[in-house]
Structure 1
Amino acid sequence: MRERIVSVIAPELPFFVYGTLRPGEGNHDLLLRGRTLREEPARLSGALLYDGPGYPYAVEAPVEAGATVAGELVTARPEAYARLLAELDRLEEYVPGDPRNLYERVVREVVRVDGSAAARAWVYVAAPAVAAGLRARGNLIDGGDWLARR
């Protein structure tokens, strides 16, 4: 396990989840159940979804390409936020500034499927080296929906 780097205080934004953290998936029950205020269907524009080894990767793409990723906008309970953020970073093996990251945690705008206002959220996207490999030889998930791939 890599050494943990103490990160700067992050804004308490909701999370956009698109893979194993979605309702009905294993990591949702493990990490999110009982720790959220709301979970709303949402879409991330400007990203493609690639199949990984048991989990997906969102890879950023030009917004004009029309690519979107389906997921949920998850709002954590305030008392659970700091611990949940740390646990999600650990799950995604994200360490701020580490070039070995598989994912980067970035702030992106997501749109709620019900048509209500867009929201800024934390999203774990493929780190640059991982994204380059996926673009070159990865398995694209048509439609950008991890749950529909089955």
Structure 2
Amino acid sequence: MNEKLPVFVYGTLRKGLHNYENILEGQTTNEIAATTVGSLYAVSHESFPCLVKEGKTVIQGEIMCIKEDRYEEILKKLDALEGYDERNVQESDYVREITTVVDDKGHHVEAYTYYWNQPQGLGQFITSGCWQTYLKEKRKMKC
């Protein structure tokens, strides 16, 4: 049985983005701005981000506190979205690990985070550490 920790999200699961709307909207008790440190990349034709532990970039995201009565169901949906199978971690696209993130009040919070688990496939490095900023900049370049 998994510990019922909040989940730190940094990409398409952030509030206002499509996977948030599909999976997390209405399923949380609290959503708190937070950061971690690592490196953020855009992969698969720049359609989604991946986080790796190595690096010193401040990564922007949110802590999602999932409703207790929906926790197991939502965690299974998140695992499926991220291509994570705890029975076959080596083949998983991402691995879900407990990490410490810093919330908007400076508190250290333990949360699950999905880290990229494929040694190859890193795309464009996101210098801002923010997926939403990256998307805005990418849209501007297409105009």
Length-normalised TM-score, structure 2? 0.87
Q: Which runs of 5+ in 2 are unaligned?
A: 137-143
For residue 86 of structure 1, the aligned residue among 70, 76, 81 is 76
Residue 52 (structure 1) shift: 1.4
Contact 1:59 1:131 in 2 (8 A): no
Q: Which whole-Å deviations, capped at 9, do the CAs of 1:65-96 have from their partners, x for residues lacking one?
A: 53221100010111110101111001111001
For residue 91 of structure 2, the aligned residue among 95, 100, 118 is 100
List aligned pairs for 1:125-140, cutoff 5 A: 125-127=115-117, 130-134=118-122, 138-140=123-125
Q: 2: distance between equivalents of 1:131 and 1:50?
A: 13
CA RMSD of aligned residues (A): 1.3
Runs of 4+ in 1 over 3 A off after TM superposition: none
What is the number of equivalent residue pairs in this alignment?
132
Q: Which whole-Å deviations, capped at 9, do the CAs of 1:78-124 have from their partners, x for residues lacking one?
A: 11101011110011110014222110000000001232x21000000
List aligned pairs for 1:113-128, cutoff 5 A: 113-115=104-106, 117-127=107-117
Residue 133 (structure 1) shift: 4.3
Q: Which whole-Å deviations, capped at 9, do the CAs of 1:37-72 have from their partners, x for residues lacking one?
A: 000100012x100001211000111xxx53221100
Contact 2:43 2:121 in 1 (8 A): no
Q: 1: distance between equivalents of 2:27 and 2:87?
A: 27
- The residue number in structure 2 matching 1:11 is 3
Q: 1: distance between equivalents of 2:23 and 2:119?
A: 25
Contact 2:98 2:110 in 1 (8 A): yes
More strand by share: 2
% of aligned pairs identical? 32
Q: Which runs of 5+ in 1 are unaligned?
A: 1-8
- The residue number in structure 2 matching 1:148 is 133
- Work out whether 1:36 is the aligned partner of 2:28: yes
Q: 1: distance between equivalents of 2:63 and 2:23?
A: 15
Q: 2: distance between equivalents of 1:41 and 1:131?
A: 29
Length-normalised TM-score, structure 1? 0.83
